[in-house]
Chain A
Amino acid sequence: MIPLKLMKNKINFLSSFSLIEVLIFITILSIFFVAAASVTIGVLRDIKINEHKILATRYASELIEWMSGEKEKGWIEFTGSFSNGTNCFSGLNWNDLTTPCDAISSTIFTRSADLTKNPANDQVDVVVEVSWNELGKDNSVQSTRLFKLWE
């Protein structure tokens, strides 16, 4: 026959978790949540960077296509529209090429082009760079094109 007091203690002991069990459970749960959160943040950041890279590539191509059109309108007008060096193209026009660059309208991207006329003035080397800041880190996409008078 077990005394009543001892029996109550035994029942209490069996029906509750010990401190170490609770701690282990909370630790495992915390590790899971922290791991899930960090993986999610990493994946979302990579997806966002990819999205911005696609857009940045498009903005770089857009400028090169526009310049190609300007070149087709007339070589002399085209080469006379800019001077060698880095020029800003927040819009598709020759009006405001001064640095530092403003962002392209309603976007986070800044677009600049390094334009170099060769001495004979029959070639223009264009290096377009679209850059943006992503969570404190600078990213950029480059695109190059060589325009020639006789092509």
Chain B
Amino acid sequence: MKKKAYTLIEMVVVIAVIGLILPVLFNIIFVIVNQQIKVMRLSEVKRQGDFAFNTIENVIRNYGYKIYSDSGLTDEKCIVSSPSYSNDGSNFYVKDKFISTFQFYTTPDRIASLGADLKTTYLTNNNVDVSDFVISCQWISSYSAPLITVSFKVTYQNTSGRTDETASMTYQTSIRPRGN
């Protein structure tokens, strides 16, 4: 009976081997999961940014016509008398060829659009932060619509403060509305 039991030295050896293997295994799993999370953050930033960017570009290109700095559509911008105008979106109203207006702005970390039906639609979710949102326009000629430039930065929300856990992408383009 006594010989069937494990000796102390056998137990110590087994525990030592397990103690050697387990940290290695956990370390491998930790590194892989960490890298996967990093890729997930990056793809989320790209997905959100691409969607917001494509939506803004398509809506302005297809429906944009004139630019105003007020919702009452009394102060037109990017015309001969006021050739350039830049804003964070809060006072940048785009009128289509009918009387409807739409607007893109930040609230403050998400891009929102406000349509003619006064419904706010968010183009990005809470997983990412949007910063440096600037929308500007420039008068080119009396025979064409103003050139509208949109730029913003999308960053993954980083609660830990570690820079290696941050993923961000910058978007910028200029659009000539075809709405007229």
Chain A's nearest CB lies how many Å from the CB of B145? 10
A72 and B147 contact, CB distance less than 8 A: yes
Interface of B is mostly: helix
The interface centre, meaning the residue of A68, A69, A73 with most chain B CB atoms within 10 A of its CB, is A69
From 3 to 55 in chain A, residues with beta carbon under 8 angstroms from any chain B beta carbon are: 14-15, 29, 32-33, 36, 40, 43-44, 47-48, 50-51, 54-55
Interface 0/1 of B74-111, CB less than 8 Å to A = 00000000000000000000000000000000000000
Chain B nearest CB, measured from A63 CB (Å)? 11
Q: How many angstroms from the CA of A57 to the CA of B53 in the assembled complex? A: 15
| Min CB–CB distance B144 → chain A (angstroms) | 10
- Which chain B residue shows the least CB distance to A33? B24
Interface core residue of B21, B31, B172, B174 (most chain A CB under 10 Å):
B174
- Chain A interface size, as a band, is 20 to 34
A148 contacts the other chain (CB 8 A): no
A-contacting 9-mer, from B34-42, B62-70, B113-121, B155-163: B34-42
Indicate if the CB atoms of B39 and A54 lie closer than 8 Å.
yes
**Cross-chain contact B21 with A54 (CB below 8 angstroms):** no
Are the C-beta atoms of A69 and B35 separated by less than 8 Å? no
Chain A binding surface, main DSSP class: helix
Q: Is the CB of B174 within 8 A of A73?
A: yes
Q: With contacts A40-B32, A44-B32 known, is A58 near B169, CB below 8 A?
A: yes
Q: How far is the CA of A69 from the CA of B171 in the complex (A)?
A: 12
- Chain B 26-62 interface 0/1 with A at a Cβ cutoff of 8 Å (1 = within): 0010011001101100110010001001000000000
Cross-interface CB contact of B46 among A14, A36, A54, A70, cutoff 8 Å: A54
Q: CA separation between A29 and B24, bound complex, in Å?
A: 12
Check B31 against A69 for contact (C-beta < 8 Å): no
A51 and B39 form a contact (CB under 8 A): yes
B43 touches A54 (CB 8 A): yes
In the bound complex, what is the Cα–Cα distance between A77 and B25 (angstroms)?
59
CB distance from B116 to the nearest CB of A (A): 25
Contact across chains for B172 and A51 when beta carbons are under 8 A apart: no
The smallest beta-carbon distance between A102 and chain B, in angstroms, is 19
Contacts from B to A (Cβ < 8 Å) = 3, 7, 17, 21, 24-25, 28, 31-32, 35-36, 38-39, 42-43, 46, 50, 53, 140, 147, 149, 169-176
